[in-house]
């Protein structure tokens, strides 16, 4: 029974880490938009949706990392 619990815990950690990695990829994939905004190539209005989405992804990463620590 302990082996099954350990396997489930390990799998859960792997699932959480996979989700973290997916959010980090999304952040990386939108870095170019953030850079274009910082260089003045796109307006604040055009950047706003991406900015909001990136903030949500970072918040979710932080939540998942806390879950791994707990």
pLDDT, tens only, 9-63: 666 999 999 999 999 999 999 999 999 999 999 999 999 999 999 999 999 999 9
Q: Quote the pLDDT of residue 6.
A: 62
DSSP string, 3-39: HHHHHHHHHHHHHHHHHHHHHHHHHHHTHHHHHHHHT
Q: What is the pTM of this model?
A: 0.81
pLDDT at 8 over 70: no
What's residue 33's pLDDT? 97
Distance CA 1, CA 20 (A): 29
Domain residue extents for the chain: 31-70
Q: Residue 7: pLDDT band by 50, 70, 90 thresholds?
A: low
CA R_g for the chain: 17
| pLDDT at res. 13 | 92
């Amino acid at each position: 029974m302990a082996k099954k619990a350990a396997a489930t815990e390990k799998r859960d950690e792997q699932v959480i880490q996979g989700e973290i990695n997916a959010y980090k990829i999304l952040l990386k994939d939108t870095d170019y938009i953030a850079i274009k905004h910082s260089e003045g190539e796109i307006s604040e209005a055009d950047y706003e949706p991406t900015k909001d989405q990136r903030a949500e992804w970072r918040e979710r990463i932080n939540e998942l990392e806390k879950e791994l620590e707990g």
